[in-house]
Structure 1
Amino acid sequence: MSFTVETCVAQHIGDRAEQQDRVGLFTHPTRPEILLAILADGMGGHSGGAMAAEQVVIKGRQDLDVFAPRHETAEQLLGSVLADAHTVIRLTRFTSEQDPHSTAVVLLLQGDMVTWAHCGDSRLYHFRGPEIVARTEDHSLVGELQRQGRLDEHQARSHPQRNVLLSCLGSDREPRIEYGHARQLAEGNSFLLCSDGLWAYFSDDELAQTVHEHSARAAAETLIGRARERAAGGGDNISLAIVKLVPAPKRLFR
């Protein structure tokens, strides 16, 4: 069954002095059925994090513009985006007194196929209707403790070291980049990219239900509103991108 794509990107500065997240949604210059969504959560002192996150989004757009799907796989494109951003962020350390780093999560939609990659603790969720299909695993200390069975979801949310990352772009270590994909997609599938300023306040089920029940724009407004309420004056920057596959409009013939 045919479908169309409904999208939305949204941000809120939260209770921080500066917005250091970046998010973008771009189409291929000659292949409009190819869509890239990208989100980065920057870290590194005043303006350093914003600069790092900006480089991730810039590299995403630049690499998408020269993407040749007949000669390059989706994983090669996404891997080059994150590797290129990592290199540029590291180079900025030599020209400034800052220590910039960034997380990154990026999704490439090609027709009925989606491929994604991530580094850090910004997340991608894949929903089918109101059910969760997949979620990226955080490259964080708390995420590792959860994988080892030493913390449950409730304990992870309140752990004092929940913001400690084990991998990110711009660090001295090569970034840990993980990939995922979904094939033969149909209407009813949706994808959410978001920073920890959003996902920290929701269960997977609540995110799935909200995205399912609303349009992309209404879901974004609802999620940001609830996150702001639950942060109670102590919220981080919030960024998100929603990609929903919805029924194609019916054509009327005379």
Structure 2
Amino acid sequence: MTEPIELELALLTRPGGRDQNEDACGHWHSDSRLCCVVADGAGGHGGGDVASKLVVRYVIGAFAANPRDDAQALRELIVRSNRTVIAERTRGGTAHMHTTLAALFINLDQAIARWCHVGDTRVYAFRAGRIAMRTVDHSLVQSLVDAGHLAPESARGHPSRSELYSALGTEEDQLISSVQEPAWPLQAGDVLLICTDGLWEYVDDATLESTLRVCATPHDWMQALEAAVLAGAARKPSHDNFTALTVWITRAAA
């Protein structure tokens, strides 16, 4: 029998050392479903801001209208999201605008989660205070790590860290995306995190775990992660926008 669960959510988004925040995030829920979306836009002249907000709105709207969370439905949702970015460019949007995407979908009735992503915005799953899973970036640096040419601990500071090989706004035959399979079975005490590279660049796995263990609420953890980014980026005044959204799984009240 599936254990009844409840959810607590908190989010954080900051411009960092930039004039404009090109990250976007949002969430939607019904009695039985939750959809959380984070996107990190780029493209210059406001294009990244347009692309990220467009994709967040599209994913939330499409899922709310038809809350399917099977793997095939999420693959189709990514393709349609990509088409919305390309269509916006043809209507006069910035020619080079694109955006990452990471989206989390929770089915409360079945106590399962599934997620999908394009680019280097990440989803982490924590169990018993430890990272049990994280998504694999679609990036040049990740491909170097995968090939054994770069140590994982060197990836964060690599000069090519921001070079993506897939993002929304890519020609469809070149689009690469990932969907969590099988669905992730949720337990009370689990924590899920979506965050942009502006956060994980400065917050390593050990810090994610150590701050999580000492924080009593999702809001407290967001504050701790913000402090960690600002401390890590203290010598880089132009550091990137950073965004995080967390969902904590708790046991439903009797």
Asked whether the two chains share a fold, i.e. TM above 0.5, the reply is: yes
| 1:104 matches 2:101 | yes
What residue identity is the alignment partner of 1:231?
Answer: A
CA distance in 1, matches of 2:26, 2:94: 27
1:197 equivalent in structure 2: 198
1:86 equivalent in structure 2: 82
Which ranges of 4 or more aligned residues in structure 1 deviate by more than 6 Å?
none
| 1:151 matches 2:155 | no
Task: State the percentage of identical aligned residues.
Answer: 29
1:175 equivalent in structure 2: 175
Structure 2 SS opposite 1:24: strand
1:211 equivalent in structure 2: 212
CA distance in 2, matches of 1:144, 1:102: 19
Q: Kindly state the Cα deviation for residue 107 of structure 1 after the two structures are TM-superposed.
A: 0.6
Structure 2 SS opposite 1:243: strand
Structure 2 SS opposite 1:93: helix
| 1:124 matches 2:135 | no
| 1:137 matches 2:136 | yes
2:70 equivalent in structure 1: 74
Measured against aligned partners, the alpha-carbon deviations of 1:172-202 in whole angstroms (never above 9, x if no partner) come to: 3532111115443211111000000001112
2:19 equivalent in structure 1: 17
Q: Kindly state the Cα deviation for residue 162 of structure 1 after the two structures are TM-superposed.
A: 0.8
Measured against aligned partners, the alpha-carbon deviations of 1:92-127 in whole angstroms (never above 9, x if no partner) come to: 222134311000000100021000000000000000
Structure 1 SS opposite 2:208: helix
CA distance in 1, matches of 2:32, 2:242: 28
Q: Kindly state the Cα deviation for residue 149 of structure 1 after the two structures are TM-superposed.
A: 1.0
CA distance in 2, matches of 1:191, 1:211: 11
Q: Kindly state the Cα deviation for residue 48 of structure 1 after the two structures are TM-superposed.
A: 0.1
CA distance in 2, matches of 1:184, 1:162: 32
Structure 1 SS opposite 2:166: coil
CA distance in 2, matches of 1:97, 1:25: 26
- Contact 2:203 2:232 (8 Å CA) reproduced: no
Measured against aligned partners, the alpha-carbon deviations of 1:52-74 in whole angstroms (never above 9, x if no partner) come to: 10111111111112225xxx443
Q: CA RMSD in A?
A: 1.6
Point out where structure 1 has 5 or more consecutive residues left out of the alignment. Answer: none
Q: 1:122 to 1:73 in 2, by over 3 A?
A: closer
CA distance in 2, matches of 1:60, 1:167: 18
Point out where structure 2 has 5 or more consecutive residues left out of the alignment. Answer: none
CA distance in 1, matches of 2:128, 2:25: 24
What residue identity is the alignment partner of 1:56?
Answer: V
- Contact 1:45 1:98 (8 Å CA) reproduced: no
- Contact 1:3 1:245 (8 Å CA) reproduced: yes
Q: 1:183 to 1:164 in 2, by over 3 A?
A: closer
- Contact 1:124 1:191 (8 Å CA) reproduced: yes
**How many residues are matched?**
244
CA distance in 2, matches of 1:50, 1:78: 23
2:233 equivalent in structure 1: 231
What residue identity is the alignment partner of 1:176?
Answer: I
Structure 2 SS opposite 1:168: coil
CA distance in 1, matches of 2:77, 2:160: 29
1:43 equivalent in structure 2: 42
- Contact 2:114 2:179 (8 Å CA) reproduced: yes
CA distance in 2, matches of 1:187, 1:44: 40
Structure 1 SS opposite 2:155: helix
1:187 equivalent in structure 2: 188
- Contact 1:132 1:205 (8 Å CA) reproduced: no
